[in-house]
Amino acid sequence: MRTIAVLNQKGGVGKTTTVVNIAAALAAAGSRVVVLDFDPQAHLTIHLGLEPQVVESGSYKVLTQSAEFEQQIMLMRPNLWLLPANINLVGAESELVSVVGRETILREAMLPSRDKFDYCLIDCSPSLGLLTLNALAAAEDVLIPLQPHFLALRGFGKLLQTVELVNKRINPNLKVKWVLLCMFDGRASLTNEVKDDIAQFLESAQGTDRPWSEAKILPVPIRRNIKLAEAPSYGKTIFEYEENCHGAEDYRKVAELIHAQCYPSAPVEILQPVTVNEMQEQPPDTSASSPQPDSQAEQQPDTQPAETDENQNQLPIEIKSISPEQQQQEGDSEEQPSEFTQTTTDQSGT
């Protein structure tokens, strides 16, 4: 199983949309996919057509009551399972404050299920708190959706710093693999400047031991597309809502690229276009349901704790298109997290 945390502490950049639609494309093509709603806003749960008020279990129970992961997941579409969330999840951070090993509860809960899925995608909340740390401790890959405007870059350094801390202390297998440009408008010059700056920054890390040294901007950006904004209110993926729009086209291609990297030996053409009828003929089964054992090769070893060095956590990130005054402000707001449990929410991207 490949576990991918979809992460950006900035709000409204496209995390949930990305999780839903990449997962739907992968599942429709035959991969077994489980998506985890790790955001108390429960947008992932809603986007897949489930009202959070009717959710009695889900990620909150897995984190706080040691409920078995497989008993809490629901089959929402063929090959697509959901660990739902509701507002209770907001209390998980404070309830777990004195629990030893609270950052690795999810990882441990998912261990027995690693062979049963091909992919696990985690929809992180727009914060760097305990929920996100659990996601990062359980994941191998990080996908960062990013809206390429100036505000999107604020906090990028802090995000990478957090990944690096988790990589050093809890999960040495954790790597930032992909940056996905969302709500992309190629006509805006700033968009291209920001894109070039990020590409250059990532390139400069190649060959280093930084956890983002292999990260690349995915070559297919997700174009701004009104259908993507409309689909969640119908509880539908973009392939169910409007399978021929730009949004569907872009997410299908991104899913293909990710699949080709995660399972290079599996033929890429297994990703057939999703047909609306196929998806609609099988309504969500909201009873707990266990998947069958893994059909694709296991590729990642289990994670192990690692030693750390506080002094190695400096992150020199320089974004050229930001003015010196803006960089000063950026520097001011980019203190290092002193504790793993520090929460930093940034809604400025909404």
Asked if 164 contacts 313 with a C-beta cutoff of 8 angstroms, the reply is yes
DSSP assignments along 76-144, one per residue: EETTEEEE---GGGGGHHHHTTT-TTGGGHHHHHHGGGTTT-SEEEEEE-SS-SHHHHHHHHH-SEEEE
Task: Single out the segment in contact with ligand ATP by CB under 6 A; choices: 35-43, 95-103, 168-176, 197-205.
Answer: 35-43
Q: Which does 14 bind (CB under 5 to 8 A by kind): ligand ATP, Mg ion, none?
A: ligand ATP
State yes or no: residue 11 binds ligand ATP (CB under 6 A). yes
Name the burial class of residue 295, with classes exposed (0-12), middle (13-18) and buried (19+) by CB atoms within 10 angstroms of its CB: middle
CB of 123 to Mg ion, least distance (A): 6
Asked if 129 contacts 342 with a C-beta cutoff of 8 angstroms, the reply is yes
- Of the residues 32, 43, 177, 236, which one makes contact with ligand ATP according to CB under 6 A: 43
State yes or no: residue 15 binds Mg ion (CB under 5 A). yes
φ, ψ at 63 (rounded to 5°): -75, -40
- Of the residues 23, 25, 36, 39, which one makes contact with ligand ATP according to CB under 6 A: 39
- Of the residues 2, 43, 116, 177, which one makes contact with Mg ion according to CB under 5 A: 43
Please, which of residues 114-133 interact with ligand ATP by CB under 6 A?
126
State yes or no: residue 57 binds ligand ATP (CB under 6 A). no
Residue closer to ligand ATP (CB basis): 137 or 183: 183
- Of the residues 105, 228, 257, 317, which one makes contact with ligand ATP according to CB under 6 A: 228
State yes or no: residue 16 binds Mg ion (CB under 5 A). yes
What 3-state class would DSSP assign to 34? strand
Residues 6+ apart with CB under 8 A from 252: 25, 239, 271, 273, 274
Catalog residues that contact ligand ATP under the rule CB under 6 A.
11-17, 39, 41, 43, 126, 182-183, 222, 224-225, 228-229, 232, 247
